[in-house]
Amino acid sequence: MTNAWERIQIILEKSLKSGVFQLWIKPLQGAFDPDQKALKLQAPNEFVASWVRERLQNMILEAGQDVLGFTPGLNITASREGEAIAPLGASEQAPVKEIRRHLPLQSNIQVVSRFRYSFQDFVVGPSNELAFVASRSFCREQVSSDQLFLCSSTGLGKTHLVQSMGNNLANGSNRQTLRIAYLTAEEFACQLIQAIKSKQVERFKARYRDQIDILMLEDIHFFQGKEKIQTEFLSTINSLQGQGKKVVLSSTFLPKELNDLDSNLVSRLCRGFMAVIDKPDLGTRQEILRQKASSLQLDLPQEVSHLLAERIQTDIRQLESCLSNLVIKARLLKERITKQMALEVLKNYELKEQSLDLEDIIQSVCRVFDLPREKVCSKSRKKQHVQARNLAFFLARKYTEHSLKEIGRRFNRRHSTVLKGVANVEKEVNTDSPLGRQLKDAASRVIPN
β 214-218/29-33 pair status: unpaired
- Contact yes or no for 362/377 (Cβ under 8 A): yes
* Residues 336, 339: Cα–Cα separation, whole Å: 10
- Contact yes or no for 102/132 (Cβ under 8 A): no
Picking from 355, 360, 420, the residue whose alpha carbon sits closest to that of residue 390 is 420
DSSP 34: T
What is the CA angle 440-427-89, rounded to 5? 145
Residues in CB range of 122: below 8 A, 6 or more apart: 128, 132, 157, 160, 161, 164
* Contacts by 88-93, CB closer than 8 A, 24 or more apart: 88/191, 88/194, 88/195, 88/198, 88/200, 89/198, 89/200, 90/27, 90/44
**Cα four-point dihedral sign 221, 222, 225, 229:** negative
Residue-range domains of the chain with CATH: 4-82 (3.30.300.180), 94-277 (3.40.50.300), 282-346 (1.10.8.60), 358-446 (1.10.1750.10)
Picking from 247, 172, 173, the residue whose alpha carbon sits closest to that of residue 208 is 247
- pTM score, two decimals? 0.60
Phi, psi (deg, nearest 5) at residue 29: -100, 135
* Residues 256, 143: Cα–Cα separation, whole Å: 23
Picking from 144, 230, 248, 134, the residue whose alpha carbon sits closest to that of residue 188 is 230
> Exposure of 394 by Cβ count < 10 A (0-12 exposed, 13-18 middle, 19+ buried)?
buried
* Residues 344, 316: Cα–Cα separation, whole Å: 19
Q: What pLDDT is recorded for position 216?
A: 94
Which of 317-349 are b and which e, b meaning 16 or more Cβ less than 10 Å from the residue's Cβ? Answer: ebbbbbbeebbeebeeeeeebeeebbeebbeeb
Please give the chain's pLDDT, 449 residues, in tens: 447 898 898 888 888 876 678 778 888 888 888 888 889 998 877 767 877 887 888 889 988 888 888 889 999 988 754 333 233 333 222 232 233 334 333 333 333 445 788 898 899 999 899 999 999 988 887 556 789 999 988 888 899 999 999 988 887 766 557 889 999 998 999 999 999 998 999 999 999 999 999 999 999 998 988 889 999 999 999 999 899 899 999 998 888 888 778 889 998 988 888 999 988 888 899 999 988 888 877 888 999 999 998 888 877 888 888 898 888 888 888 888 999 998 888 887 765 555 567 888 888 888 888 888 888 888 888 888 888 999 999 888 877 778 788 888 888 888 778 888 888 888 887 777 778 777 877 887 776 54
Residue 183 bridge partners (DSSP): 217
Q: What pLDDT is recorded for position 124?
A: 92
DSSP 23: I
- Contact yes or no for 236/269 (Cβ under 8 A): no
- Contact yes or no for 184/220 (Cβ under 8 A): no
Strands of 147-152's sheet in order across: 180-184, 214-218, 246-251, 147-152, 273-277
